[in-house]
C-alpha cells in the first residue's frame, strides 16, 4: 500500500513537471524530427515504466478492496497520462484539453492517496 502511495506521489510530481514543460517549451520544428523523438523517448521511458507498475498495483489493490477507485478509472488515467506525456513534448493540443487531462489525472491520484492514508 505504501508503495502505491509513493508511486502515485511520483506520478503527481511528473504531471506537474510535464505541465511546466507544456507551458514553457516550444514544439519541435517538425513532427518527424528523429533526434527529438529519440530524446523524448529516453526522457519519458522511466515514466512509462512507472505507469505500468502503478496500473498493475492499483488494479490489484482494487480487487483487494483497499482502494475505492473503479478499475476503468485507473486504465483511463494511465491513458490520459500517456497523452499528457506526448502533448508535453509535441505541444500539439489546446491548453484547455491538456488541462482537462491534467486535472482528471490529478483527481484520481488524489483519490488513491486519500484511500491509502
pLDDT in tens, 3-56: 999 999 999 999 999 999 999 998 888 888 899 999 999 999 999 999 999 999
E strands in the chain: none
pLDDT of residue 30: 86
CA dist., res. 15 & res. 98, Å (int): 11
pLDDT of residue 107: 96
Q: Would you tell me which CATH number, out of the four given (1.20.120.440, 1.25.40.10, 3.40.190.10, 3.20.20.60), belongs to the domain 2-116? A: 1.20.120.440
The answer to whether 98 and 87 are in contact (CB under 8 A) is: yes
pLDDT of residue 57: 96
pTM of the model: 0.92
pLDDT in tens, 46-88: 999 999 999 999 999 999 998 999 999 999 999 999 999 999 9
**Mean pLDDT value across residues 97-110:** 97
Please state the domain extents for the chain: 2-116
pLDDT of residue 95: 95
pLDDT of residue 1: 60
| Angle, in degrees to the nearest 10, between helices 71-90 and 95-116 | 140
The answer to whether 40 and 82 are in contact (CB under 8 A) is: no
Amino acid at each position: 500500500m505504501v508503495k502505491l502511495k509513493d508511486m502515485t506521489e511520483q506520478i503527481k510530481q511528473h504531471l506537474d513537471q510535464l505541465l511546466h514543460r507544456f507551458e514553457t517549451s516550444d514544439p519541435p520544428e517538425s513532427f518527424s524530427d528523429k533526434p527529438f523523438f529519440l530524446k523524448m523517448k529516453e526522457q519519458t521511458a522511466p515514466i512509462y515504466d512507472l505507469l505500468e507498475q502503478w496500473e498493475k498495483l492499483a488494479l490489484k489493490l482494487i480487487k483487494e478492496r483497499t482502494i475505492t477507485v473503479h478499475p476503468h478509472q485507473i486504465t483511463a488515467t494511465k491513458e490520459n497520462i500517456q497523452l499528457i506525456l506526448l502533448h508535453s513534448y509535441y505541444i500539439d493540443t489546446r491548453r484547455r484539453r491538456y488541462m482537462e487531462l491534467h486535472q482528471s489525472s490529478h483527481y484520481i491520484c488524489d483519490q488513491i492517496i486519500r484511500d491509502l492514508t
